[in-house]
Amino acid sequence: MLRIHNSLTRDKQVFTPIESGKVRMYVCGLTVYDYFHIGNARTLVVFDMVYRWLMAAGYAVNYVRNITDVDDKIIDRANKNGEPIEALTARMIVAMHEDTDRLGMLRPSVEPRATRHIDGMLNMIGTLVDKGMAYPADNGDVYFAVREFPGYGKLSGKSIDDLRAGERIAVNTAKRDPLDFVLWKAAKPQEPSWGSKYGNGRPGWHIECSAMCAAEHGDTLDIHGGGWDLQFPHHEGEIAQSEGASGKPFVKTWMHAAFLNMDNEKMSKSLGNVFTTREVLNKLDPVQGGEAVRFFLLRGHYRSEINYTWDILLDARGALVSLYTALRDTPPVKVEIDWNEPHAARFRDAMNDDFNTPMALAVLFELRNEINRTHSAELSGLLRALGGTLGFLQADPAAFVQGGAAGDEEAAEIDALILARNEAKKARNFAEADRLRDEIKARGIILEDGASGTTWRRA
């Protein structure tokens, strides 16, 4: 029985979908003005894991992850680059897919783009205005009237009065209340705009997701996810808009992934510690890198902050290589997971306890130890199958352990050096064997001598 921590109720609840056997899931995606950073990767990988586990549990999942392709940052970057907004966003969407593919992520069921849902946004804005929950202002903007929605603050735990007391937003005389937020922004020179009965303009941030959720899922979702920082104001705004327009509960279960810190500090451009996922991946072996980063990102529970350093990432890669080494040394048989098998049952119980990946991965390491001791092909198959539910251990084990920084040509050279070393050992020319060993080591290769011969992997 799957239990999920609901950010709205602040406790774990048994997951019961609106429609039996089916899950409607929406996750806030990326604003495509640049390569996404490693903190973004954490959120994306977490919800890819959730998506995979829901399917492994037998659910038919409609996973919607939006793309924000009109935004202040996009406009500013396109102007700085001297290129059309459409060219910038198209290029960044291609790059996003390249990097999510490298992380072993499945494509969502649907990836709606904000600019293709303008009509839906305007329809929702019109409904809110008609209900008296939003109002056109003299400056051409349309604002949501926060005090007209009694439930505002229920997700983040913030009260309107507390927010008003701590208000630091610059005075905007067009607003009736400083807390009101924009639904429709009046057009400005050299900015993209769309026609509406309120005048030419473009959507505010929050309305995008409310409209896309309604278009793809209807009035109520099973799961809505995103990074912890989106709880307020973004997700709070979504609740107000969606429930204000429909009069129905918006989301049954809210999920939020915690932050990734850089060397125990919050990522910040001012500190110069923001790294794109592409930068990190490009520093790693191309065969191992994507899965190693994925493994690092899922080693910690999704609701716990994790710390990134290069050494911690390399440690995660080494742990993953050790799992692949067990598969390499004991070729697995293909198995259907028997969830009554003790290891599988513990793995399932961990994942069903709010997606407890640290405990689930601990089961994989228990299996690794038993495989190394017993050389059981059946257990090796189970290790591969369980890992597959989280997007791990599906590559060729020998190729993964060896890596592929220089391709097949270097692998052939290493194999030739190993053969020459073995011949030197047979001839009792130990000085030559040691020289060859040192030459191999200098290439960053670790040799492993076993009963079945010598194998190698990258250090």
Average pLDDT score over the chain: 93
Q: Are residues 230 and 289 in the same domain?
A: no
Question: Residue 448 is inside which H or E element, if any?
Answer: strand 445-450
* Span 408-419, pLDDT tens digits: 566 777 778 888
Total count of residues recorded for the chain: 459
Binding-site sequence positions for ATP: 269
Q: Is pLDDT at 133 greater than 90 in this prediction?
A: yes
Cis peptide before 192 (omega within 30 of 0): no
pLDDT at res. 454: 79
Domain assignment of residue 278, yes or no = no
* Span 197-238, pLDDT tens digits: 999 999 999 999 999 999 999 999 999 999 999 999 999 999
* Span 263-320, pLDDT tens digits: 888 776 667 788 999 999 999 999 999 999 999 999 999 999 999 999 999 999 999 9
Binding-site sequence positions: 28, 209, 234, 238, 269
Q: Are residues 94 and 240 in the same domain?
A: yes
**Domain boundary at 374, 400, 426, which?**
400
Q: Are residues 238 and 295 in the same domain?
A: no
Q: Are residues 243 and 315 in the same domain?
A: no
Q: Are residues 99 and 210 in the same domain?
A: yes
Residue 261, class by beta-carbon neighbours within 10 Å (0-12 exposed, 13-18 middle, 19+ buried)? middle
Torsion sign over Cα 303, 242, 155, 137: positive
CA 370, distance to chain mean position in Å, is 31
Q: Average pLDDT, stretch 52-67? A: 98
Q: Are residues 244 and 324 in the same domain?
A: no
Q: What whole-number distance in Å separates Cα of residue 107 and Cα of residue 101?
A: 8
Q: Are residues 312 and 433 in the same domain?
A: no
Q: Are residues 234 and 288 in the same domain?
A: no
Percent of the chain with pLDDT over 70: 95
Percent of the chain with pLDDT over 90: 80
Domain residues for the domain of 43 are 15-257
| Residue for token pair 């995103």 | 226
Domain assignment of residue 308, yes or no = yes
Torsion sign over Cα 303, 307, 313, 316: negative
Domain assignment of residue 1, yes or no = no
DSSP notation for 229-267: GGIIIIIHHHHHHHHHHHSS--EEEEEEEPPEEETTEE-
DSSP state, 199? -
Q: Are residues 56 and 80 in the same domain?
A: yes
Q: Are residues 297 and 426 in the same domain?
A: no
Domain assignment of residue 270, yes or no = no
Q: What whole-number distance in Å separates Cα of residue 446 and Cα of residue 443?
A: 9
Q: Average pLDDT, stretch 395-412? A: 78
**Domain boundary at 400, 422, 438, which?**
400
Count of domains forming the chain: 3
Q: Are residues 75 and 178 in the same domain?
A: yes
Q: Are residues 394 and 413 in the same domain?
A: no
pLDDT at res. 170: 53
Domain assignment of residue 51, yes or no = yes
Q: What whole-number distance in Å separates Cα of residue 3 and Cα of residue 348?
A: 12
Torsion sign over Cα 315, 259, 209, 191: negative
pLDDT at res. 173: 77
Domain assignment of residue 136, yes or no = yes
What is the CATH classification number for the domain harbouring 353? 1.20.120.640
What are the angstrom distances between the C-alpha of 449 and each of 74, 398, 427, 446, 456?
Answer: 55, 15, 17, 10, 9
pLDDT at res. 406: 47
Q: Average pLDDT, stretch 372-386? A: 97
Domain assignment of residue 9, yes or no = no
Domain assignment of residue 121, yes or no = yes
What is the CATH classification number for the domain harbouring 40? 3.40.50.620
Q: Average pLDDT, stretch 150-177? A: 78
Tokens representing 387 are 């890992």
Binding-site sequence positions for Zn(2+): 28, 209, 234, 238
